[in-house]
Amino acid sequence: MKADPDKLIIDGTLGGGGHSEMFLKTGARVIGVDRDPEALAHARTRLAGFGSRFSTFEGNFSQMPEIPSVQQGELVDGILLDLGVSSRQLDSAERGFSFMREGPLDMRMGPSSPRNAADIVNHWPEADIVRILFEYGEESKARRIAGAIVRHRAVKPFVTTLDLANCIEKAVGRTGKTHPATKAFQAIRMAVNEELESLAIALNNVPKVLKPGGRLLIITFHSLEDRMVKRFLKHSSTEFLDEPGWPEPRPNPDFQFRLLSRKAIAPSAGEISSNPRARSAKLRVAQLLNLPS
Ligand SMILES: C[S@@+](CC[C@H](N)C(=O)[O-])C[C@H]1O[C@@H](n2cnc3c(N)ncnc32)[C@H](O)[C@@H]1O
């Protein structure tokens, strides 16, 4: 990814700082946003050599309009959102994201998350657990897993990631290569961090932060996120709306983007072989239009 010198970019998901570094190397200024203070500290050290061209904002990317320079009226040339958790977060046992590593049932990307994974599995009503497993995990065995969670916690509350992973494996068995807790862990993580809610707010905030002509790039790893981005961009890049029963098409009040790629861009085979976690990534790119107000 490249940005021209003197452009100002918000990297809304700073993580390890890899994308920010690419922008900085081409001369741009970057504001790195992350809700994880550990990620911010790590990236600040990694990118210190870029001096004042790199700055950070601790918070949710849904809060982009609250970034001090944006508040002072400076709009940005580009926004990148590379959704989900970072490898650093996943690989760190004590963050509780992995069903392969013993750790506390945490899964918060940062301290601002209103709950942790233990709160959900130990206290949420069974129906709500079923709902998130279905909705966020697209888990067809949601009822069976939620039932097992509720029976287990009645005897002994869940404490660690492996308590939960083992309970799920016992409930649904293991077939194939994928661990049977994969979808449930993803669903619980998305609920802990209110990931879809944050994305919906961020999409609506983009025109408050981006210059007319500026670009929005979003990388998703999950069909629900991709669907949300695709629908938002499709609607907001449609100039006229038409419905059966209307005498003629009407101007779309939400028309404000131009799609720079009609379809999602998938990673190349080379990218997947150097980073297997990229295999389900989809990139969508759009440009904010310069419309008369
Ligand atoms: C997939 S990683 C980004 C990796 C990064 N592009 C890189 O090059 O290293 C996602 C990062 O975004 C952060 N993140 C995810 N959702 C967020 C949100 N709603 N607000 C702020 N940060 C978020 C996570 O804490 C994580 O550090």
CA separation for the pair 97, 112 (Å, rounded): 16
81 alpha carbon to ligand 1 midpoint, in Å? 8
Q: Please report the atom of ligand 1 found closest to the CA of residue 80.
A: 6
Q: Looking at residue 293, what is its pLDDT?
A: 67
Task: Compute CA 81 distance to the chain's CA centroid, rounded to the nearest angstrom.
Answer: 7
Overall residue count recorded for the chain in this entry? 293
Ligand 1: nearest atom to the Cα of 61: 20
CB atoms within 10 A of CB 52: 6
| The two three-digit tokens of residue 224, written as one number | 């629900």
Across-strand partners of 32? 11, 56
Cβ pair 281, 221 in contact under 8 A: yes
Residue 262 has a pLDDT of: 86
Rounded CA Rg of the chain: 21
CA distance 124 to 80: 34
Give the whole-angstrom CA distance, residue 99 versus residue 93. 9
Q: How far is the CA of 74 from the centre of ligand 1 (A)?
A: 23
Contacts of 226 (CB under 8 A, 6+ apart): 220, 264, 282, 284
240 CA to middle of ligand 1, Å? 35
**Encoding tokens for residue 16?**
């390890």
Please work out, in degrees rounded to the nearest 5, the angle formed at the alpha carbon of residue 164 by the alpha carbons of 159 and 168: 160
**Dihedral through CA 218, CA 221, CA 222, CA 225, nearest 10?**
-10
Q: Whose CA is nearest to atom 20 of ligand 1?
A: 60
Phi, psi for residue 180 in degrees, rounded to 5: -65, -15
181/158 Cα distance (integer angstroms) = 15
Dihedral sign from CA coordinates of 59, 63, 69, 75:
positive
Q: Position 243: which residue type?
A: E
Choice from 9, 10, 13, 80 to test ligand 1 binding pocket (greatest atom count within 8 A of CB): 13
Asked whether 100 and 92 are in contact (CB, 8 A), the reply is no
Say if CB 29 and CB 7 are below 8 A apart: yes
What three-state secondary structure class fits 284? strand
pTM: 0.95
- Pocket around ligand 1 at a 6 A CB cut-off: 13, 15-19, 33-36, 39, 60-61, 82, 84-86, 109, 198
How many other β-carbons are positioned within 10 Å of the β-carbon of residue 263? 9
| Residue pLDDT, tens place only, 28-83 | 999 999 999 999 999 999 999 999 999 999 999 999 999 999 999 999 999 999 99
- For a ligand 1 pocket test, name from 45, 61, 86 the mutation site with the most ligand atoms within 8 angstroms of its C-beta: 86
Interior CA angle at 47 toward 42 and 51, to 5°?
A: 130
As averages over each run of 10 residues, the pLDDT of the chain (293 residues) reads 83 97 97 98 98 97 97 97 94 95 96 94 98 96 98 98 97 90 97 97 98 97 95 97 94 96 90 84 96 74
Q: How far is the CA of 13 from the centre of ligand 1 (A)?
A: 3
The reported pLDDT for the residue numbered 271 is 86
Please report the pLDDT score of residue 292 as a whole number.
75
